[in-house]
Amino acid sequence: MENSAVQKKKILSGIKPSGDLTLGSYLGAIKNWVELSDEYDCFYMMADMHAITVRQTPADLRRRTLSQLAQYIACGLDPKKNTMFIQSHVSAHAELSWVLNCYTMFGELSRMTQFKDKSAKNATNINAGLFTYPVLMASDILVYQADLVPVGEDQKQHVELTRDIANRFNGVYGDTFTIPEPFIPKTGARIMSLQEPQNKMSKSEQDNGGCVCLLDKPEAIMKAFKRAVTDSDTCVRFDTKNKPGISNLMQIYSVITNKSFEQIENEFASRGYGDFKTAVGEAVVELLRPVREQTEKLIADKAYLESVYKEGAERAAYVANKTLRKVYKRVGFVAK
Ligand code: TYM
């Protein structure tokens, strides 16, 4: 692995264990991680440090972090080929983040739409971590000299800021960081809530039926799709403006089955929404069945999971510390 890894371009991505993994995260990000993992040297993390920008129950955070690792593996990420680790286990992220804070402008962070959304939702806890979160994310990416960052559309602005920070730093000190590119899928980059199809499907709406999680049981998945909000028309047609619910279901069905929107429109031309919702639900059930079954087995094997995240952190720290040393030298810190 070591020799070929040296030649390959790098990928870094991560997910916050602030809730259970959703179908949105799977189709927007993890699916591509799996597809890209042969071609790139990949680093995939559980972003636990990002999760605490919003209050978490400690025991839940710990449980979800380990379950998330099991789900990464169950989704097809081979720990022998991919470096999987827990963000807080690699201290270089936090260390680089401090340095990059000093090369990021208040105005830039104020313009981040996710900060505006999250501070509106957490009005009683608009903490500094929520504000500087994109700098930690930039550090996650830059510390591995990542070439590519596979994410859903909602993270594009953060990757763009990462590029700006890296360019600014390189401009002052000479080439230090690789400038990363976002990798956003054409279909599935923004899966919407099944209950409020004008909003993104997110971990935070697990209770209202708008969100499907990777570990949901078949009956719960079918129920969520049968109850999915659509419109008063009966025609299965892609039109995000007038038919956001149906268009969202078409996106989900399209990414899973590889069928084009036109093929889907033809397939359901003379059938009602009921048939279509059932077909989408069944496709999701079959997609997630092996993930859930495999995750259940992996979660029971704590020693194995521990070996994966420990080895992952060791490999990750080796790469990350190299960048950190270079950065410390560039800014003028005395070597240890
Ligand atoms: P997070 O944890 O909110 O989401 C994880 C990933 O899933 C994607 N995603 C979606 N894609 C399509 N439709 C949806 N409804 C949907 N919901 C989530 C997200 O775009 C993301 O790719 N800041 C990141 C975590 C992070 C990170 C990083 C990512 C921390 N450091 C470094 C990349 C590189 C976040 O909050 O993602």
List the pLDDT tens digit at each of the 336 positions of the chain. Answer: 445 545 799 999 999 999 999 999 999 999 999 999 999 999 999 999 999 999 999 999 999 999 999 999 999 999 999 999 999 999 999 999 999 999 999 999 999 999 999 999 889 999 999 999 999 999 999 999 999 999 999 999 999 999 999 999 999 999 999 999 999 999 999 999 999 999 999 987 667 889 999 999 999 999 999 999 999 999 999 999 999 999 999 999 999 999 999 999 999 998 999 999 999 999 999 999 999 999 999 999 999 999 999 999 999 999 999 999 999 999 999 999
Q: Which of 16, 31, 203, 277 is catalytic?
A: 203
pLDDT of amino acid 5: 47
What count of other Cβ atoms lies within 10 Å of the Cβ of residue 71? 27
CA of 321 to the centre of ligand 1 (A): 24
Residue whose CA is at the smallest distance from ligand 1 atom 5: 15
Bridge partner list, 41: 10
The C-alpha angle 320, 67, 85, rounded to 5 degrees, equals: 10
CA of 173 to the centre of ligand 1 (A): 30
Pocket test for ligand 1, best of 155, 211, 255 (most atoms within 8 A of CB): 155
List Cβ neighbours of 203 (8 Å cut-off, separation of 6 or more): 18, 19, 20, 21, 22, 25, 211
pLDDT of amino acid 205: 67
pTM of the model: 0.96
Q: Are 268 and 238 in contact (CB under 8 A)?
A: no
CA 102 from chain centre, in angstroms, equals 26
188: left (phi over 0), alpha (psi -120 to 50) or beta: left
**Whole-angstrom Cα distance, residue 90 to residue 86?**
7
CA of 309 to the centre of ligand 1 (A): 20
What DSSP designation does 22 have? B
**Whole-angstrom Cα distance, residue 46 to residue 315?**
15
What count of other Cβ atoms lies within 10 Å of the Cβ of residue 105? 12
Spatial CA neighbour of 183 closest among 73, 42, 4, 56: 42
Q: Which of 10, 31, 200, 243 is catalytic?
A: 200
Pocket test for ligand 1, best of 12, 15, 27 (most atoms within 8 A of CB): 15
CA 70 from chain centre, in angstroms, equals 15
Q: Which of 118, 156, 277, 322 is catalytic?
A: 118
**Whole-angstrom Cα distance, residue 48 to residue 161?**
21
141 lines ligand 1 (CB under 6 A): yes
What phi and psi values does residue 138 have, to the nearest 5 degrees? -60, -40
Closest ligand 1 atom to Cα of 50: 30
165 lines ligand 1 (CB under 6 A): no
**Whole-angstrom Cα distance, residue 193 to residue 29?**
17
Task: Tell me the CA distances in angstroms from 186 to 207, 234, 261, 272, 307, one per residue in order.
Answer: 29, 26, 13, 27, 35
Q: Are 267 and 280 in contact (CB under 8 A)?
A: no
Q: Retrieve residue 261's tokens.
A: 């929107």
Spatial CA neighbour of 5 closest among 313, 320, 315, 309: 315
Q: Retrieve residue 312's tokens.
A: 């992952």
CA of 126 to the centre of ligand 1 (A): 20
What count of other Cβ atoms lies within 10 Å of the Cβ of residue 108? 14
Spatial CA neighbour of 93 closest among 34, 62, 136, 35: 136
CA of 266 to the centre of ligand 1 (A): 33
Q: Are 90 and 83 in contact (CB under 8 A)?
A: no
pLDDT of amino acid 203: 81
CA of 26 to the centre of ligand 1 (A): 10
Spatial CA neighbour of 324 closest among 222, 151, 181, 176: 176
25 lines ligand 1 (CB under 6 A): yes
Return the residue matching tokens 């080929």: 81
Radius of gyration (C-alpha) of the chain in whole angstroms: 21
Q: Retrieve residue 297's tokens.
A: 């087995």
93 lines ligand 1 (CB under 6 A): no
User: What single letter denotes the amino acid at residue 314?
Assistant: E
Q: Quick check: is 118 catalytic? A: yes
Residue whose CA is at the smallest distance from ligand 1 atom 31: 137
